[in-house]
Chain A
């Protein structure tokens, strides 16, 4: 099997991330593993957004909704499990849970359903209207969670135990990293497969010219809605993992800053490039950690880098190294 340069670059970046963690484990640096886990989760959220933004040209400023829903799926289920109170007793009894697979499933399904509903309304618009409506949905969810005292309101929810996965000690940083890394690898594989599939091609065609797509009998709205739903589901999974990493969820997960950060991961790394969000999230976490120690205003440097990339490297860091993207096939 021959690998094209995008796939080769993806393998190299993923190997670098894995090597960093193995080195940190060998030298007894658990905090570095936590940073790498954070980067892997952000990268997963970025790949989710990249499905909508990179392939479909949908500039969403509301992906924090799905990130937050995933986070609260974990928070709500785990908080009920730790207080031994059911979520609901009518019409059926639903208990909380500490089982990660159940939490992930709930996170993915609920964020996908939210993406389906939001997409069905927002994808009827385009351009700046789409951006503003997705942003508005994000703010609606943010204020709703702020005003929901049952789940901590503005203060958020603390989860005192990390959720469990059969056969793993999830409190061990490297084992929790392994889970996040496995999801990241699966999402990357999914992205590459979707990008090369007929569905990915029609999504790309919808971004280029809707009228031409209609002329060959394909409804761009449906194609975009499916992509947006898939995008929301992946971002929701990232939210659930992020909540588990911090053992804390708060309305900040729904904030416009979170949506903006996910967009930044994608732009830094390269919009529409499979490995772009991984590179972007990695750089973001690195800057956050190194410059954050120096000054609270480290985002000024991030802003300058972002500006330079937008002005001089439209393909992000991936584009800078690999050049223009290859044709799909």
Chain B
């Protein structure tokens, strides 16, 4: 399995406050990697660094063998990173169809494919995004990222705050993306049980640094208790 994404010794700050102190991570083609840690440990900051929304101070981010240093955020996305940001963040005044159209790039993912993955979006096609339920907005956010035909889908807390039935629907979709489409996925989530159904590997962060990497199946209760508090 070829390496798609690699972070080596990444450090980053928000102004004077350092948030990352040395993050290492690697994700292979077609693999699902769970990025885990307690609140405030640097998961979302790591995603911002990968997507070039935050410039690292030190370390190296490589995507598909290409050093991402100096790349503008939109060029990073064009390189194949599809981000589903924390908090959904659709284009509220645009309709479902328009949200998807605005992000569209050539490739196998088109509006029909997204509506097959999430039939609810097909039913709400002409509805403005701001009027959708939280779960539907999350589906739209995932759909919009897929419309860019990414090589790596990055899901930041994609199921947070959603009803259990909607969460299940989204986890089923994520599993489908892995098994049926062979998409590489980096997923940040707190649901250990659901992550276990899709993730191949896991990386655990503690105080802005990588403290554990390995196969998801090798996570022991001691490790999860120590770094995740579960």
Contact = CB atoms under 8 A, between A and B. Distances in A.
Interface stretch (A114-122, A148-156, A211-219, A233-241): A211-219
Nearest first, the 4 closest Cβ-Cβ pairs linking A and B are A217-B77, A216-B103, A214-B73, A201-B102
Contact of B101 (A201, A212, A214): A201
B83 A215 contact: yes
B94 A212 contact: no
B66 interface: no
A167 interface: no
A212 B77 CA distance: 11
A20 interface: no
Interface string A255-292: 00000000000000000000000000000000000000
16 contacts: A204-B98, A205-B94, A209-B91, A211-B53, A212-B85, A214-B72, A214-B74, A215-B77, A216-B102, A216-B145, A216-B148, A218-B77, A218-B103, A327-B94, A329-B125, A329-B126
B104 interface: yes
Interface in A197-230: 198, 201-202, 204-205, 208-209, 211-219
A159 B116 CA distance: 64
A329 B89 contact: no
Interface residues of A, number: 19
Nearest to A216: B103
A196 to B, nearest CB: 9
Contacts of B89: 209, 212
A209 B104 CA distance: 17
B97 interface: yes
Given A201-B98, A211-B53, A212-B85, A217 B105 contact: yes
Contacts of B72: 214, 219
Nearest to A222: B74
A201 B94 contact: yes
B92 interface: yes
A328 B99 CA distance: 11
B157 to A, nearest CB: 15
Contacts of B93: 204, 208, 327
A213 B93 CA distance: 14
B91 A212 contact: yes
Contacts of B4: none
A95 B209 CA distance: 71
A217 B53 contact: no
